[in-house]
Amino acid sequence: MELFELINTLNAAHGPSGDEGGIRAVIAHLAAPFADEVTTDTLGNLIVRKRGEGPRVMFAAHMDSIGFIVTHIEKEGFLRVGRLGGISPKEAAYTPVRFKNGVRGVVVPEEKADFGKLKLDECYLDIGAKDAEEAKKMVQVGDTAVYDSPMFVNGGKVVSPYLDNRISCAILLKVLEQVKAGVNDLYFVFTTQEEVGIRGSKTASWSIDPAYGIAVDVTDVDDTPGSEKSGTVQLGNGAAVKVMDSSIICHPEVVSKLEELAQEQGIPTQRDILRAGGTDAGAIHVTHTGVKTGGISVPCRYVHTPVEMADLNDTEYCVQLAAAFAQCKLG
């Protein structure tokens, strides 16, 4: 399956934090032909193993997305919602959403709200219900919704909601398909609840107890007008080798190995330092007595909005770099 098509397939699946069953089923189906073992743990992490004689290497890409959860249904049929992860009300305003059962709606600010200081409590979801009775036939309190924006490509750049982090799930699926078994004992983990506190990766890394860990995720950029320099990377400059973020200072040995492999194989790379935000690497590296952990990042504009943007060439370079690390001799 081509990379764009794979990302589109993953984005069509439901999977906000804590409700990842839909996306887990899709990934499990796609991974099964290339895996020696596919399991799911108590927290819902999907663990795909490709056995080898070398040390245990854990690749992690979180499969959950940010989203909304219904907290109240008003008598007029409008829904009040809470946030699952880093939702910005201003960025969500007037954006279409969809529920797991197919019901669709739109995020709307109240007329009296100050848009400059907009809070989620001042917004509602309009699903077209005439009153609460009709609304309750469509959704229930506790149901979750996600952005329903379209996906498209312009000039090699893909625009879509939830590139964070479905694009990295696609990367791991491509690596799983490409790597030869036998060199290292590989665990491709599609984690849960990263967006609400890197929760799934904590239990997964504890049970796997890897010698090496690589978190694959998106990272913020420094290439747009008025950039606040939250990140250090640019679209189109290659795979980003993580040096640090707010959750981890990456192991120097892993950073060096990734850059060495990239140089040997002619893979364009850039260094990723993220001033705010973290990844599953933050949980992996402190597991048991410690794990040599790094990260491979996809440069991404407009993270956590309904219109995230990434470069498909950068994404392919991330596939190549992750595959190189998976098959190199470690330890």
User: Each residue of 31-85: pLDDT tens digit?
Assistant: 999 999 999 999 999 999 999 999 999 999 999 999 999 999 999 999 999 999 9
Tracing tokens 């998106």 back to the chain, one arrives at 218
Active-site annotation holder among 20, 194, 195, 308: 194
Q: Are residues 300 and 252 in the same domain?
A: yes
pLDDT at 325: 98
CB atoms within 10 A of CB 111: 6
Annotation marks residue 194 as catalytic: yes
Q: Are residues 42 and 174 in the same domain?
A: yes
Is residue 1 very low, low, confident or very high in pLDDT (cuts 50, 70, 90)?
Answer: confident
Q: Is 9 a member of any domain?
A: yes
Span 155-179, average pLDDT: 97
Same domain, 22 and 166: yes
| Residue that is last in its domain, among 120, 147, 174 | 147
Residue 96 placed within a domain: yes
On whether both 261 and 280 belong to a single domain, the answer is yes
Judge if 35 and 89 occupy the same domain: no
At residue 246 the predicted structure's pLDDT band, cuts being 50, 70 and 90, is very high
pTM check: above 0.95? yes
Domain that holds residue 113: 67-147
Of 147, 181, 204, the one marking the end of a domain is 147
Residue 153 lies in a domain: no
pLDDT at 228 over 90: no
pLDDT band at 327, cuts 50/70/90?
Answer: very high
Same domain flag for 216 and 228: yes
Query: Do residues 315 and 229 share a domain?
Result: yes
Res. 128: pLDDT tops 90: yes
Residue 331 has pLDDT above 90, yes or no: no
154 lies in some domain = no
Can you tell me the mean pLDDT for 317-326?
98
The CATH number of residue 207's host domain is: 3.40.630.10
What mean pLDDT do residues 202-221 have?
A: 98
Helices marked H in 210-251? none
pLDDT of 296: 98
Q: Do the domain assignments include residue 155?
A: no
What does the pLDDT read at residue 230? Answer: 84
The band of 315, judged by pLDDT with boundaries at 50, 70 and 90, is very high
- 243 and 294 in a single domain? The answer is yes
**In this structure, what are the phi and psi dihedrals at residue 30, rounded to the nearest 5 degrees?**
-75, -30
Reading the block at residue 117, the tokens are 């200081």
Task: Examine the domain organization and report whether 186 and 58 are in the same domain.
Answer: yes
Q: Is residue 303 part of a domain?
A: yes
* Strand pairing class (239-245; 292-301): antiparallel
Give the domain-ending residue among 114, 147, 180.
147
Are 119 and 24 contained in the same domain? no
| DSSP sequence for 86-115 | S--HHHHTT-EEEETTS-EEEEEE-TTS-G
- Cα–Cα distance for residue pair 158/195, rounded to 1 Å: 22
Read off the CATH number of the domain in which 87 is found.
2.40.30.40
% of the chain surpassing 70 pLDDT: 100
Average pLDDT value for the chain: 97
Q: Considering the domain boundaries, does residue 173 fall inside one?
A: yes
Q: Are residues 185 and 269 in the same domain?
A: yes
Higher pLDDT, 116 or 260: 260
In total, how many domains does the chain have? 2
- 168 and 124 in a common domain: no
pLDDT of residue 38: 98
